[in-house]
Amino acid sequence: MPDSTVKEPVATQTAATPLNKQETGPEVYFRKGFGLKSEVQAELASDYSGRLVDLLREREFRLESGGTTVRLAREFGFCYGVERAVDYAYQTRRKFPDRKVFLAGEIIHNPHVNTKLRDMGVEILQIGPDGIDYSGVGSDDVVILPAFGVTIKDFETLRAIGCVMVDTTCGSVLNVWKRVESYAKGGFTSLIHGKYYHEETRATASQATKWGAHYFVVRNMEEAKVVCDFIEGRLDAAELMSRFSHAASPGFDPDRDLKRIGVANQTTMLARESLAIGVEIGQAMARAHGEEYAKENFRTFDTICSATQERQDAVIELLEQPLDVMVVIGGYNSSNTISLAALCAERVRTYHIEDASAIDPVAGTIRFRPPGAKEDSIESGWLSLDRPVEVGLTAGASTPNNKIGDTVARIFATRGIEAQAIL
C-alpha cells in the first residue's frame, strides 16, 4: 500500500481554534498572554527551577559521587506547551487580581502545579461524567482553558456565559484538531489513538464531530487490531460496539462509519505505537477492499508532538547506558510520563514516582506505580548500598525542575551521600 504517513506542519496559534477575537470581542478571548511575562518570571523561577538540574546540564547530564552515578535524559521535564500554559495562568492571576478565576480542569497533569494555582486563588473545575459544570461561573469571571484544550461544547457554554477566556491549549494539540477537522470535512471517521477519558482526547474527539462526522478511540495496538478484525470481516458490528460503545461517537455505525478512516492521536501517546497503528489500519483496509480503495479512503498523519517524541528518543538513548535502575518522575495521570515509564520498563527495572517524596532515604524505600497498576507499591532495598550503582532519570513534560532536583538529592541521600558532596 502506498505510504500515506505525512509529517504534519506546525499549527499556527489560531489554527483550528473554535473561537477567535472577532467572534467574542477583544476583551473576552485571549490566547497570547497579557504581556506580563517579565512580571511573573521571578515567581515562576522560584516555584519551579532546580539547582541540581542546572548542575546536571553543566556536567553533561551526569552526576557522580561515592560510587553513585545519576544520568539524566537529555530531554526531560517541562516542554514549551506546558511552560506556556503555566506562564499564562500566572499572568492571568496577575492581570485579574480582583476577579474570580477558574480553571477548566487541571492546567497540566502535575499535582504540585495545580496545588500552587489553587494556593493563588484559582478554582479548578472538576470534570464529571457529563463534562465540566460551569454553573458557578458568571459573566464577570475568568476561565483558563488548560493545555489539553476543551471540547466544542465547553467553548460554546463559556461563550454563552460571556466570561473572559484565557486559552492555553498547546499548539501541538491544535495541530491534531486541524487534521481531525479536515478528516471530518472529507467525510472520514477519525480513529484516535488515545485514552477515551483523557481531557485532550475528549477535546479532539469533539472536533471530529464537526460536519456530521464520527470518531472511534483505541487505547493501544491490541484494540486497533480488533478494529482490523471488523474491517476484514472477522468480527461483526454488534460485537465491535459491545466492546467500544464508550469510545465511539453517538450514533456510531461501524458498517457505515468505518468505510473511510483517518488516523489521529492524543499527542502524548507512545509515538512508535501511534505510527504502527496507522500502518496496521491502512493494511487492513487494503486487504479488505484493495489498494486503490485504501488509497482513496484511508489517511494517517504523524501528529505526535515534537516534545513527546524528543523525550521518548532521549530515554531510548539513555537506556543504552549500563543502568541498574530507572526512575521516571511525573503525575500518575500524566499520559506522556506513563509512556516514558513503559519504554524504560522494557529494558531495565523502572520506578514511576509522582515526586521526590516517594523516596525515603532513611527507610531505604521507594513508593511507585507499577506499569498498568492503579495502586502504589512500596519496595525496600530498591537501591543497592554495597556496590557502585548507575541510576537513570527522566521526567514527564509536566514535571518542574525543582521536583527533578529534589529526586536527585534523595537518590544520593539513599546512598548516604549529602547534596553538598555533589555541588
**Most distant CA pair in the chain, distance:** 66
The one-letter amino acid code at 224 reads: A
Task: Look up cell 541510576; give the residue.
Answer: 391
Q: Say if residues 255 and 245 touch (Cβ distance below 8 Å).
A: no
Q: Say if CB 331 and CB 352 are below 8 A apart.
A: no
Q: How far is CA 380 from the centre of its chain?
A: 31
Helix ranges (H only) for 32-124 are 37-48, 51-58, 80-95, 111-119
Q: In the predicted model, is pLDDT for residue 43 greater than 70? A: yes
Average of per-residue pLDDT across 229-239 = 98
Q: How confident is the model at residue 13 (pLDDT cuts 50, 70, 90)?
A: very low
The pLDDT value recorded for residue 210 is 85
Q: For residue 338, what are the CA distances in angstroms to 198, 296, 378? A: 13, 35, 18
Span 122-127, mean pLDDT?
94
Question: Phi-psi category of 61—alpha, beta or left, where left has phi over 0 and alpha has psi -120 to 50?
Answer: left
The pLDDT of residue 274 is 94
Q: What is the model's pLDDT at position 371? A: 87
Tell me which residues are annotated as active site: 200
Cβ-contact 191, 263 below 8 angstroms: yes
The stretch 37-53 carries a mean pLDDT of 92
278 and 269 Cβ atoms separated by less than 8 Å: no
First to last CA, the chain: 56
Q: What does the pLDDT average to over 169-188?
A: 95
Q: What is the pLDDT of residues 96-112, one digit of tens each?
A: 999 999 999 999 999 99
- The burial of 362, by beta-carbon neighbours within 10 Å (0-12 exposed, 13-18 middle, 19 or more buried), is given as exposed
Q: Give the least confident one: 3-12, 225-234, 363-372, 397-406.
A: 3-12
- Contact yes or no for 114/93 (Cβ under 8 A): no
Inform me whether the pLDDT recorded for 186 exceeds 70.
Answer: yes
Other Cβ atoms within 10 Å of 162 Cβ, number: 15
Mean pLDDT, residues 49-67 taken together = 94
pLDDT at 5: 43
Chain mean pLDDT for the chain: 92
Q: Do 172-304 and 81-169 have the same topology in CATH?
A: no
The arithmetic mean of pLDDT across residues 283-291, rounded, is 98
pLDDT bracket for residue 422 (50, 70, 90): confident
- Can you give the pLDDT at residue 16? 45
Q: How many CB atoms lie within 10 A of CB 418?
A: 12
Distant-in-sequence, close-in-space partners of 216: CB < 8 Å, separation ≥ 6:
189, 190, 191, 192, 227, 244, 247, 248, 249, 252, 257, 258
pLDDT of residue 243: 97
Query: In the CATH hierarchy, which top-level class contains the domain 172-304?
Result: alpha beta
Per domain, the residue ranges of the chain are 49-78+307-422, 81-169, 172-304
State the fold for domain 81-169.
Answer: Rossmann fold (3.40.50)
pLDDT band at 14 (very low <50, low <70, confident <90, very high): very low
Contacts with 25 (C-beta within 8 Å, 6 or more apart), sequence order: none
Decide if pLDDT at 410 tops 60: yes
Mean pLDDT computed over 181-187 = 96
Q: Answer whether residue 29 shows pLDDT above 70.
A: yes
**pLDDT value, residue 2:** 42
Cα–Cα–Cα angle for 65, 70, 71, nearest 5°?
135
Using pLDDT thresholds of 50, 70 and 90, give the confidence band for residue 19. very low
Q: What is the fold, at CATH topology level, of the domain defined by 49-78+307-422? A: Cobalt-precorrin-4 Transmethylase; domain 1 (3.40.1010)
Name the band, by pLDDT with cuts 50, 70 and 90, for residue 23: very low
Using DSSP, state whether 364 is helix, strand or coil: coil
